[in-house]
Each structure stands twice: as C-alpha cells, then as structure tokens.
Amino acid sequence: MAEDRAGRQKPPTSQDVARLAGVSQSTVSYVLTGSRPISEATRRRVEAAILELGYHPNSGARTLRSRRSGVIGLMVPEADGDDGVLMVFVRTIAREARRHGYDILLVTAQEGADGIRRVVRTGVCEALILMEVDRHDERIAPVLASGLPFVTIGKPEEFPHGSVIDLDFEMLGRMVLERAHEEGCAHLLLFGALDHLRSRNDVSRFLAGVEDAAEEIPVAVVLDDGPLAEVPARARRLAAPHARTALFGLGGVRQVLFAMAASGALAQEGTVLLALGGEDLADVSGLLAPVPQIDPRRAEVSELAVSELVRLLRTEDATPRVTLVEPRWLEG
Amino acid sequence: MAEDRAGRQKPPTSQDVARLAGVSQSTVSYVLTGSRPISEATRRRVEAAILELGYHPNSGARTLRSRRSGVIGLMVPEADGDDGVLMVFVRTIAREARRHGYDILLVTAQEGADGIRRVVRTGVCEALILMEVDRHDERIAPVLASGLPFVTIGKPEEFPHGSVIDLDFEMLGRMVLERAHEEGCAHLLLFGALDHLRSRNDVSRFLAGVEDAAEEIPVAVVLDDGPLAEVPARARRLAAPHARTALFGLGGVRQVLFAMAASGALAQEGTVLLALGGEDLADVSGLLAPVPQIDPRRAEVSELAVSELVRLLRTEDATPRVTLVEPRWLEG
DNA sequence: TTGTACGCGTTATCAG
DNA sequence: CTGATAACGCGTACAA
C-alpha cells in the first residue's frame, strides 16, 4: 500500500480493485451501484478484490460526479428547552440515517440562514432536517431557495418542497383537558409561561387544542406565568373543596415535581400532576409511578423524519406531506 | 442560472466566476486559497464576481483534489450518562469547529470500530474527536490505523497520533476529599456505584485521586453501590454525633438532591452535598444555592478538543499531547 | 502577475 | 455482458 509524505496510508481506488480482479474500472463501479447487470463470475471476483483491499469508494469523487453526498444536514436549535430531550432526537436521527445509508452533519441554529446556504451551495448536504421550526422561520427561505428536499420537525406556514413531522400537539391539548376532567379536576393549571410562548408553534397548537376542548368540557384553564417552584402553592390556592386541580406543562415537569416533593405536595390529594414523558424522568421514577404520563413519541418522530426524508430523496417527484404523530397515554 | 431536470438551481462554479471576472479559472482558485500573490485589481474583480454569483466552492471537488474534506467526525457515546450534558459538548464542539472552518459529522458509538473505518476510508472525515474514551477502547485501533489526527475526550492507554483533552479527574478527587474535611466531615460517601465503574477511566482516575488524598487527610471514604434514592438514609446512618457526612458522585446529583428534598434531609445539618455542576441543575437551583459546586468546565474541554485538533491538522509534524483541565470550585 | 493543462476517483454514456 | 472514455469542479506544477 502506498504512503504519502505524512506516512498516511493511501486508500485503494476502484482502479486498484479493477487491476486485482482483472476487469475494467467501470465494471467495479457497476458492481457497486448495481445499475447494470453483471455476470455472477466477474461479480464474485470483483467482490473478492474489494474485500481483500478493504476498498471503500471515495466520497469526494462520488459526490462530485453524482451530486449526491450521502449527507443529511441536521439543524439543531440553540440551548432553550431540555438538552437531554434534544440529544435523544439527534442520536435517533443519526442512527436511522445510517440505517438508510446516510450520514448526519450538524448545523447549529446559531449559523442561521447563512449556515443553510453554505451547506447547500458547497454541496455537502443533499437534504436537510430542521428541528424546532417556528411558524415563520427565517431558515425556511434559504431551504426553499435551495430546492433540496427537507423535513421539518415543527410546522412552518409554508413548505413547498418539504415535509413536516411532529407530535400532534392539538390532540395533546385535548387529551390533557379530558384527563383532567376524568380525574375529577375543576381546574387545569398550565405552567411554564405558555402564554408568552404562543409564538412557538408547538405551544400555540397545544393551547388551541386545550381551548378547543374546554368549550365542551367543564374544566377551567389557568395559564400560569410564575416560577415553577411556586406552582404547588399556586395549585393549592386554586383547589376547591371537593374538586382537585390538574397540573401540566410542555416542559419543566421535573422542576415542578421537585417543588412538589420539597413542599410535601406529593402526599396531598388535591393536585394531580399530568406529565409529558420522556423528559428524562427516570431519575424521579420512583415518585412518578402514580403520575399519568403521555408518551411524546420522540423516537417515532425521529424515525419518521428520516424515513420521510429518504422517501423524498429516492422517489421521483415525491409530494411533501404533513405527518402528525398521535400522543399516547403510558399505562403503568 | 441553469436548472437540472428536477428544477433545482445548479450552483455556479469557479469557471462561472472566472468568466464574469474576465480571468482564468485558476486565478479564482488562487484568490480563494491565497497560495499565490494576486494583484489588488484582479482580486477585487474576482471577489465582486464571487459575491454577485453567490459562489461557494464545491465541497466534493475540493475534497477530491486536496484530500481535505473540512469535516471532523464526532463519535458520540450511546445513552448512558446524562444526555443533557452530552448535548452541551456536542453543540459546543460543533460551534467551535465552525469557527475554525470545519463541519461536524456525527458517528454514533453504535457503529463502533466499523463506523470509524467507514468514514476514514471513504474520506468523509479528515480528523476525529472521540468522546468518552475508555482506557482500552476498541475504537482506538482503527483510528490509529487510519493515521488521521484525532482527539479523545477521555484518556486511553495509547495515543500515538492523537491528543487527549479531559478534566483532571485525579485533582477532582483530591478537591472533593479536601473540601469534605474543611466542611468538618468525618465521612465521604461516594454514590453512583463507582466501585463497579472502575473500568471507566474517568472513574478510576477520580477514585485514585480520592484514595491518594485520603492517605493524608482524615476522612473515611465509603463507596455506596445502593440506589440513589436511598443515599440520604445511608448518609444518616453514617453520621457521627459531632461530625457531618459529605456526599458526592460523578453523576446523579439531581436524583440524590431530589431524594434529599423528598425525605426532608435538605433541612438537616448532618449531611453536606458536594456537587459536580453543569449537570443541568438549573431546575433545582433554588435549593442548590448553599451547595458547593465544582465546575467540570465542559465548555473549555470542548473548545480545547477542537482547537487542539485544529493544531494537529494545520501544524506539520505536530506532536500529540495530553491536556488536563483543572476543575474549579464555583463560588456563590 | 497571470494563464494552461493535468489529475484527483467516480459515475454514466457510448461502443463493442 | 463488458471496456474505453468523457465529464464533475477544483488545486497546483509548469509556462509565459
């Protein structure tokens, strides 16, 4: 094996494979891509040579020629919500992408629209996944301009070439209110300053679901903007003599649970904490057992994001579509 | 601008830029790389053309020609520790890499050594960062074989071409024991089943530091393998009449803090929780204020990992080295 | 100071 | 069924 001046092994090329197998270089290529019928005999010789040399096709050359880099750009948001949750998405997406033969390149939201333009123009990415997309998101414009297939997790206003995968937050809202009613609650206290976050599309969809359901179900909805540590106290003040109060938030369940534990509220019967699961609650699982949890189905959302993107990539003239994953109550 | 059959915009090439600027293609290239003096006049014409066309050099072609992809592979561990912590590393590394002109490609630990071989042989990555490396790590072998520069976060036994960046866990161990003594503790209870994790190199280095310091400082070290929820009770049993007990663990501080809150141990004077900060403790910060915390300096570790890798990449015959970042007590 | 020409390793077209 | 051969877009040695 040849070595360059730095003493690094120079990987074998398809030319090397061809020589060893006694065929032409193009034949090697066809064996790899399968875009042309090859006789069983030569195929085996080529494959043996590939194995012997440990040959892997050069990514740069392949990309240059075919305009397909095999790389999907993943735009991750800045630290705002729960980083643990985010990492689950990232890891799942990376694993699924590999399963389909793609790699994941990180693009931080900090780079913004310019970041998109860069990876698109340089041709590093042949498709994009955007996380935590808002209704009006500055990143959508350059993506649309690129013409690349993309998937957003979060629902923007327009998505001509792109598909949308997300949890069905409206349904989530209805489910929470219904459960509060079933648990005999007169009030549903929503914590986490949701009122101030209406611009976020998941929040606004969730609130729409809650408010929609509240027109039919007699549960009073209270939006709490205060600090999470004071949620238990706030809930106690709401509690009517014979009615309980349900608590819910899209995030910060751990903090509230912590506050409840610290204030002794866990032992009381007046408040019912409903939780969105998956927010790394394993650490407090002992106390969570009796807490009804909703599965936000992040694994499914991640897997769908990838498989939908692959569909857009591989299908000619594939139509983008919106897929909302239904939240589910976790039993036990 | 030309469009291909899918209706996608075909990005301009350096040839297009050259035509517009009235120079040869190579001149454009030289302006970009700066590897040859260019007259002020033509440089401006070229730069104007680049701006006008929104030109970005094609990554595939550049990589093919120069063997430098501008991509650093980042191998992230499976879900084992705190995913929130991990995400901080990942985001910081991605941001720093961009600052130096590199992109980050995710490689999941699940792919193992084969994953390394793949990204190396295909030439997608020109360098690697490995997270949570053990003393004997199967991923090290293919990395060494590749001859690519790399940085590990975590200290393997051998690292011929690679540098090591990590927190100084031995010093951390000494600091914790010293602090326990200063706080008037007769016992230091280490939770989180550290005894069973001695194979992990950060754990073994930490324990070495603790045990080393324990030879000079009169604090009895107790390794606790029980569930985190029972740590407060365990600590109470240790407490001597006039001596307190210090608690520490490399992870799971939140769980222990939670257990202390639930059992009312926070109000007691008998136990002192010493915490490794940064493990997303913001949610419980109200209660943490009086808790002495050590800064694990993850941002610095991440930044150093990138800058050290860049040094290896850009410096001819750069010698790999080990850099241990000193932990610090956080005041206030 | 600038231009010409070649090759990086593939994919894909055109002959045979 | 298979082998030459032409791009793909850029970096750089060689000429001018």
Smallest CA–CA distance from B70 into chain A, residue: A124
Which is more confident, A89 or A285?
A89
> Which chain B residues are closer than 8 Å to A61 by Cβ?
60, 64
Q: From the CA of A122, how many Å to the nearest CA of chain B?
A: 5
Kindly determine whether residue B261 and residue A266, on different chains, have CB atoms separated by under 8 Å: no
- Residue B62 belongs to some domain of the structure: no
Distance A24 CA to D3 C1' (A): 6
Kindly determine whether residue A258 and residue B8, on different chains, have CB atoms separated by under 8 Å: no
Please, what is the average pLDDT of chain A? Answer: 88
List the structure tokens of B90. Answer: 């990942």
Asked if residue B212 and residue B142 are part of one domain, the reply reads no
DSSP assignments along A7-72, one per residue:
-PBPPP-HHHHHHHHTS-HHHHHHHHH--S---HHHHHHHHHHHHHHT----HHHHHHHHS--SEE
Strand D at less than 7 A from CB of B30:
yes
Asked if residue A173 and residue A90 are part of one domain, the reply reads no
Chain D: nucleotides below 7 Å from protein CB are 1-5, 7-13
The 10s digit of each residue's pLDDT in A220-278 is: 999 998 888 888 888 888 876 778 899 999 988 878 887 887 776 666 678 888 988 87
CATH of the domain at B80: 3.40.50.2300
Cα end-to-end distance, chain B, whole Å: 59
Q: How confident is the model at residue B5, as a pLDDT? A: 39
Strand D at less than 7 A from CB of A87:
no
- Residue B8 belongs to some domain of the structure: no
How many independent structural domains does chain A possess? 3
CA–CA distance from B116 to each of A84, B59, B75, B110 (Å)?
Answer: 25, 21, 8, 11
The 10s digit of each residue's pLDDT in B228-242 is: 888 888 888 887 677
Chain C: nucleotides below 7 Å from protein CB are 1-5, 7-13
Q: How confident is the model at residue B4, as a pLDDT? A: 42
Asked if residue A190 and residue A85 are part of one domain, the reply reads no
List the structure tokens of B323. Answer: 């850099």
- pLDDT higher than 70, residue A279: no
Strand D at less than 7 A from CB of A14:
no
What 3-state DSSP class applies to B119?
helix
Strands A150-153 and A162-167: parallel
The 10s digit of each residue's pLDDT in B23-44 is: 999 999 999 999 999 999 999 9
Asked if residue A138 and residue A97 are part of one domain, the reply reads yes
- pLDDT higher than 90, residue B197: no
- Residue A9 belongs to some domain of the structure: no
> Which of residues 191-220 of B have CB within 7 Å of strand D?
none
Average the pLDDT over B210-231 and give the result.
92
List the structure tokens of B311. Answer: 């040094």
Of all nucleotides, the one whose C1′ comes closest to residue B16's CA is D9
Asked if residue A207 and residue A256 are part of one domain, the reply reads yes
d(CA A27, CA A33): 10
Asked if residue B276 and residue B315 are part of one domain, the reply reads no
> Which chain B residues are closer than 8 Å to A96 by Cβ?
none
Share of chain B above pLDDT 90, in %: 60
Asked if residue B316 and residue B242 are part of one domain, the reply reads no
- pLDDT higher than 70, residue A326: yes
Kindly determine whether residue B76 and residue A69, on different chains, have CB atoms separated by under 8 Å: no
Asked if residue B151 and residue B74 are part of one domain, the reply reads yes
Is the overall model pTM greater than 0.85, yes or no? yes
A278, containing H or E segment: none
The 10s digit of each residue's pLDDT in A184-197 is: 999 999 998 888 88
> Which chain A residues are closer than 8 Å to B261 by Cβ?
258, 261-262
- Residue A6 belongs to some domain of the structure: no
Q: From the CA of A81, how many Å to the nearest CA of chain B?
A: 10
Residues in chain A: 332
Q: Residue B134: which domain range? A: 67-161+299-330
